[in-house]
Amino acid sequence: MVMQKNGGVSRRKFLKTTGAAGTAATVGPWIISPKVLASSGEVNVLMWSDYLPPDYIDAFEAATGITINYTGIGSNEEIINKMKATKGQGVDICSPTNVRSGQWVDLELLQPWDYSRISNMKSVNPAMLRVGDIEWNFGGAGSHWLPQIWGTEGVAWRTDLYSPPGGEPSYGNIWDGSAEGHTMIRPHSGMLGAGLYMETIDELEPGDVWRAYESEEKMRPIWSKITDFCIKNKNEIQILWNDADTQKNGLLNDGVLVGQTWDGPPLALKIAGEPVHYQAPKEGSLAWVDGMALSVGAANIDQAYAFVEFAFQKEHAGKAIDTHGYNSAVIGADAFAGDAYKKNFSESYPGSALANLNPWPAEPQWYADVRTEYRNKFVNA
């Protein structure tokens, strides 16, 4: 997610600044500083399970002499729970999604970044940096979050076995019977996608899904309707996913024909030559930014900053997105990705799809708690 719906960084400003991400202008080359090259030791990274491909880790360790201890995770809840359980000890860098600031602000598990220690900050998309400066500036101490990877959640399908009715994908494809029970979702975001679809078939008022973020009083009647709809049509769902591997296996091995997924997993399959396509649905894909946060218990501070500087080098960021299929917050990284990445980006966001992004609003704790209540009701039905 890249902004708040009400306040924060506007979608228009975000898209204008990013240049639609795939066509951003490059900036001058960035080189790891001699201090970092002379470094050694280790850095403990708690990050999404597919963000650090083996070649990326090898390149970092060769360039810096620093060993990455990488713990892969599949959800924001997992990040928060692991950090709370250890009070941040044993972790140097974790990777929360931008909209989760309201769930971190009172935990006292993060410390602010010192921008003066990052020589290549100008290589990072400034609109995304402002998300940290505004929404993660806890207690006025400075940004506790730096952008790294952005992507979307939309619709993926097996091109050899399924075609969206009418030719344009919709969140409704998961629920409308067109795949005869061979669909998949992540429960909480799949339910939100169902709500956006319900707005188009007059089962919710236009704007209800985003209106639910305004207060618990507004949220409950809206999510009650969404939950009832999802339970009524639950027989269409074959798999409930929670990480990248489950999405890949669902499409490749487990009989899923269509699903609401992140962009990265199906595009990684597509790059590998599998009959899979990902595309922004007509209701608009859901956009997010995952970042890097410095743990209050970090024992390897110099190594953590070396990790950030490496992540902000466009060549390494570009090679990584060529593997995992997401998009980089580093301006010009796409120039170092291959032709397959560029082709997939264009095909995933045809026409006005980028202008029609739905950046997830920031999620206060009350919203997360109530959503979990309805999510559990659906899952356990």
Q: pLDDT tens digits, residue range 1-58?
A: 333 333 344 433 443 344 333 333 223 333 344 344 435 799 999 999 999 999 999 9
**What pLDDT score does 86 carry?**
95
DSSP 8-state secondary structure symbol assigned to residue 96? -
Evaluate whether residue 173 is within a structural domain. yes
Do residues 242 and 361 share a domain? yes
pTM: 0.84
**189 and 51 in a common domain:** no
The mean of the pLDDT values for the chain is 90
Kindly report, residue by residue over 234-244, the tens digit of the pLDDT.
999 999 999 99
Q: Give the pLDDT confidence score for residue 5 in this predicted structure.
A: 37
189-215 per-position pLDDT tens digit: 999 999 999 999 999 999 999 999 999
CB 286 within 8 A of CB 153: yes
State the alpha helices, DSSP H only, in the chain: 11-18, 34-37, 54-64, 76-86, 101-104, 126-135, 187-200, 208-211, 216-232, 244-252, 264-271, 301-311, 314-324, 339-348, 365-380
Are residues 22 and 122 part of one domain?
yes
Structural domain for 252, as ranges: 152-286+356-380
18 and 144 share one domain: yes
Q: Is the dihedral of CA 320, 326, 328, 334 positive or negative?
A: positive
Q: Is residue 15 part of a domain?
A: yes
Residues 343 and 372 occupy one common structural domain: no
How many separate domains does the chain show?
2
Strand-pair category, 93-94 with 41-48: parallel
Provide the CATH number for the domain around residue 202: 3.40.190.10
Taking residues 221-230, report their average pLDDT: 98
Q: Which two tokens stand for residue 366?
A: 């009350």
3 or 335, which is more confident: 335
Whether residue 1 is contained in a domain is answered as no
In terms of domains, do 120 and 184 share one? no
Higher pLDDT, 102 or 30: 102
* 170 and 128, same domain (yes or no): no
Banded pLDDT at 99 (limits 50, 70, 90): very high
Q: Given pLDDT bands bounded at 50, 70 and 90, which one contains residue 181? A: very high
Q: Give pLDDT tens digits for 132-149.
A: 999 999 999 999 999 999
**Beta strand pairing call for 110-111 and 286-295:** antiparallel
| Tokens 């019977």 belong to residue | 177
Same domain? 47 vs 125: yes
Q: Does some domain include residue 362?
A: yes
**Residue 5: inside a domain, yes or no?**
no
60 domain-assigned: yes
Q: Do both 122 and 271 map to the same domain?
A: no
| Both structure tokens of 276 | 């899979």
In the chain, count H helices and then E strands.
Answer: 15, 12
Kindly state whether residues 124 and 157 are assigned to the same domain: no
pLDDT single digits (tens) 314-324: 999 999 998 99
Share of the chain above pLDDT 90, in %: 87
Contact 343, 270 (CB under 8 A): no
Tell whether 2 is covered by a domain: no
**Binning pLDDT at 50, 70 and 90, where does residue 366 land?**
very high
pLDDT-based confidence at 168, cuts 50/70/90?
very high
Q: Residue 50 and residue 53: Cα distance in Å, rounded?
A: 7
> So what's the pLDDT on residue 12?
36
Distance CA 290, CA 320 (A): 15
Q: What is the DSSP letter of 183?
A: E
270 and 205 within one domain: yes
Distance CA 113, CA 210 (A): 31
Same domain? For 251 and 329 the reply is: no
pLDDT tens-place string over residues 269-322:
999 999 999 999 999 999 999 999 999 999 999 999 999 999 999 999 999 998
Is 4 contained in some domain? Answer: no
